[in-house]
Amino acid sequence: MMSSRNRRLAATFFACAALALAAAPALAVQPTVVRETRHRETPFVDCPEFATVGIWDISRKLTYFYDSDGLAIRDHDEIEFSGRIVNVETGAWVPDHGSRTFFDTLAPDGSFLETYMIVVRKSDYVHQAGRVDLQTGEFHGNEGFGPGDIAALCEALGA
């Protein structure tokens, strides 16, 4: 005869085993990962006396997650950049680096249902750390891209 303690342990064991077996099909489709690197040069901000360009090396890791039927249901897009912001006239520059991570929920047709982005920019002059809801455009966090930040960047690059 089993004690009540042993019956509870056996019931817990069988419940956990049933959950594990039920979850196995949901885990059958492994995420896929796409990696790429590239170099990018693009106009950045216009200072009163000169223009600037951003020059970065970018690495990207895009991971797709699937439901048990193999349909992509969400993705996670990690982008890291490292480079500099350059005065196009003099060549003076300041370092700039950071990351952006996008979290997307996908519709069955692959379109985006919901997207938010986590941004971290580690420049001495223009910096950010926060979350952007791309449906509403709301930013929550530390925004270092204001007029004072841009003025300090232009002053540093103009010296």
Report pLDDT digits (tens) over 48-70.
999 999 999 999 999 999 999 99
The model's pTM is 0.75
Same-domain pairing of 106 and 51: yes
Distances (CA, A) of 55 to 31, 43, 80, 92: 32, 9, 13, 13
Pairing of strands 139-144, 72-87: unpaired
Mean pLDDT across the stretch 105-132? Answer: 93
Domain that holds residue 70: 31-158
Yes or no: say if 155 and 94 are a contact pair by the CB < 8 Å rule: no
Same-domain pairing of 73 and 149: yes
Number of domains in the chain: 2
Q: What is the predicted pLDDT for the residue at 143?
A: 84
Yes or no: say if 52 and 77 are a contact pair by the CB < 8 Å rule: no
Q: What is the predicted pLDDT for the residue at 27?
A: 53
Q: What is the predicted pLDDT for the residue at 159?
A: 73
User: What integer best gives the mean pLDDT of the chain?
Assistant: 87
Q: What are phi and psi of 22, to 5 degrees?
A: -70, -35
Same-domain pairing of 23 and 66: no
Q: Looking at mean pLDDT, say which of 7-21, 24-38, 57-71 comes out highest.
A: 57-71
Question: SS in 3 state form for 21-44?
Answer: HHHCHHHCCCCEEEEEEEEEEEEE
Same-domain pairing of 5 and 52: no
Same-domain pairing of 147 and 101: yes
